[in-house]
Structure 1
Amino acid sequence: MFKGLYKVEFETPRGKALGVVNAENGRIRGGSSAFAYVGSFTENGHSFSGSVRSIRHTTDPAHPSVFGFDEVSVNFQGAAKGDYAICEGTSPDFPSLAFKAVLTRLSD
């Protein structure tokens, strides 16, 4: 089941980044020191899919967007197994922008 507080490590062709997300009741909320992540998901067994929007909340050149944009939506699909989840997807705004993430559960 994809539920809990996760460390998220994600990458695009533009780079890698880290953050945290909480997945619960079909909602995703989280962020990093420069971005907020807000979205939703559905589950089917160990598989899940959904969408998340990354929104810059702090202007800091030390924390560039790995998407190349200060605000972007990403559709994703993945699978959870034990304390880990792996997902991938693309942005409907920029279909050539691939996204991959590994999530590690920190707490239920």
Structure 2
Amino acid sequence: MLLNGLYSIEFSAGPDNPTGSGVVVLCDGILLGGDSSLLYKGTYSQRDGKFYATVRTSRHAHHTPSLFGLDEATLSFAGTIIRGDARGFGASSQLDVKLEVHLRFRAHIS
């Protein structure tokens, strides 16, 4: 089960492609987070050891290029929950890329 809390996130577009990282907060179906150039806002659900998320990105800083090449994109993710962390894959109809994602639990929301 994914607990309400702070998670680090790592994502990659394949072994020979760029990688990225950031942080997200998961709380009762809402996902908020970001990295050095993009904000993430979306929703998530979980059932039977699986998670599903839809995330919209938007630019907040212009000094670092986006891994996706777009300032705004909508991504859909699905994957498996493993001992409170999660691994999965994501894609977007706006991008010709398949992302691998890894969420690691870091702290409870108090």
Common fold by TM > 0.5: yes
How far the C-alpha of 1:29 sits from its partner, in A, is: 0.3
Match of 1:48 among 48, 51, 54: 51
Q: What is the distance in 2 between the residues matched to 1:85 and 1:99? A: 14
* TM-score, with structure 2 as normaliser: 0.87
SS of equivalent to 2:10: strand
Matched, 1:30 2:33: yes
Partner residue in 2 for 1:104 = 104
Aligned equivalents of 1:33 and 1:66: distance in 2?
11
User: Which whole-Å CA distance do the structure 2 matches of 1:74 and 1:15 have between them?
Assistant: 17
The one-letter code of the counterpart of 2:100 is K
Q: Determine if contact 2:2/2:84 at 8 Å carries over to the other structure.
A: no
Gaps of 5+ in 2: none
RMSD between superposed Cα atoms in Å = 1.3
Whole-Å separation in 2 of the counterparts to 1:19 and 1:89: 16
Moved over 2 A (4+): none
Structure 1 spans left out of the alignment, 5+ residues: none
Deviations 1:54-97 (A, max 9, x none): 1111111xx21111111111011011111421020210222x31
Paired positions, count: 105
> Aligned equivalents of 1:88 and 1:19: distance in 2?
16
TM-score (norm 1): 0.89
Residue 82 of structure 1 aligns with which residue?
83
Following superposition, the deviation at residue 19 of structure 1 comes to 0.2
Are the equivalent residues in 2 in contact too, given 1:76–1:89 (CA < 8 A)? yes
The answer on 1:21 being equivalent to 2:28 is: no
Percent of matched pairs sharing the same residue: 30
